[in-house]
Each structure stands twice: as structure tokens, then as C-alpha cells.
Amino acid sequence: MSTEVLLVEDSAGDVRLTREAFRDVNAAINLSVVSDGVEAMEFLRNQGEYIHAPRPDLILLDLNLPKMDGREVLALIKADSHLRMIPTVILTTSDAAADIAKSYQLQVNCYLSKPAQWDAFAGLVKNIIDFWLTKVKLPSQRTTQ
């Protein structure tokens, strides 16, 4: 079974960079992308056009998003007993102390800020893949459904 990652990101450029970095490191990872918070929740709850969406093994979540922002999405994920076990990593341009503190209060698994340089960004995506998808033990799909 392939590893499923959900990227919640509204910047087309960042989506493209993340896709390329994933492809370079491990083509077996299936990266799904949604571009706002409402879509993210529909994807995770298999609603509407996402009725057959896979359950992600890892969520990469931007904070500043259209319709519903990443803080609200994070709060909904961590308040939902079916979703809260999915490791959720904030990946944002913000390095404001208030955003970092708030995210950890909302029980984010980890907070990362996007480097401005694209090669550093690609490097960070590789670090995420290496740490979260090879080192970390994730709950298996079977036991978390």
C-alpha cells in the first residue's frame, strides 16, 4: 500500500515545489493536494467529490488559507476522534511566535516554516519525507479507521 500524504496549500508555486521534491525522493508516495481549508475537511471526511479520497498517513498544512484557515482546520482535525491520530505538520511562511505557540496549543505534531530559497524549501521537504515517512512510526491505516 502506498503512503498517502495530503498537502493543504493555496500557493501554486509551493505546491509545484513540494510535488517535485516528493517525486525526487520517493515516487511511491501519493501526494494529494487541496487548496483551501474547506476542501481539506471535505477530503478528510470523504464528503462531496472526495467520497473516495484515501485517508492520509501525514498532513502538511499551511496556516493562511482561503475559506477556512489552517488554525481552524488543525483544531477540527485534533478535535475529531477519527482524524486526530493523523500526524499533522504545519508548513507555513509564518515564523511568528504567536502562530507557533497557538499551533502547539492546538496539538500540532510539528511546526515548520518555509524557507524563502527554493533549494532550501526542497531540502526541507526531503527532511520531512525522511523523518516522518521513514523514521517515525505512524499508526497503520487499519487500526485508525
Binding site for other proteins (CB under 8 A): 84-85, 87, 95, 97-98, 100-101, 104-105, 107, 109-113, 124, 127, 130-132, 135-140, 143-144
Give the Cα separation of 139 and 116 in Å (integer): 32
* Minimum CB distance to other proteins smaller for 52 or for 135: 135
Grid cell at residue 69? 484557515
CB of 123 to other proteins, least distance (A): 9
- Contact of 86 with 56, CB cutoff 8 Å: yes
CB of 51 to other proteins, least distance (A): 26
* Minimum CB distance to other proteins smaller for 36 or for 71: 71
Provide the phi-psi class of 79: left if phi over 0, else alpha when psi is between -120 and 50, else beta: alpha
